[in-house]
Amino acid sequence: MRQPLEGITVVALEQAVAAPFASRQLADLGARVIKIERRGVGDFARGYDRTVHGQSSYFVWLNRGKESVELDIKDPADRALLGAMIGKADVF
């Protein structure tokens, strides 16, 4: 069965609760969601606990169904990669 947002690509620069929860809803509806995380440290929520197979329950709950990539958006090469990703995305 085809999901409502299948074929839609979302690039998400997000942390905390509201944005990750919103993009999780998009992923649940079939969108491809690519979460941009800080190079070297990722999303701070990854370290809240280690309940789910060594990962933070909070992080897993908010980010299920997403892909992620670490970028330093202050680095010119990473910024160019982000720009290329946004250029191909349906939603940023």
- One-letter amino acid for residue 33 of the chain: V
The domain locations on the chain are 9-88
Rounded-to-integer distance, Cα 54 and Cα 90, Å: 33
Please give the model's pTM, rounded to 2 decimal places: 0.91
**CATH number at 9-88:** 3.40.50.10540
Model pLDDT, residue 47 = 82
Rg (CA), the chain: 14
- One-letter amino acid for residue 13 of the chain: L
Model pLDDT, residue 80 = 98
Render each residue's pLDDT in the chain as its tens digit; 92 residues: 999 999 999 999 998 789 999 999 999 999 999 999 999 988 888 888 899 998 899 899 999 999 999 999 999 999 999 999 999 999 99
- Residues 9/32, Cβ–Cβ less than 8 Å: yes
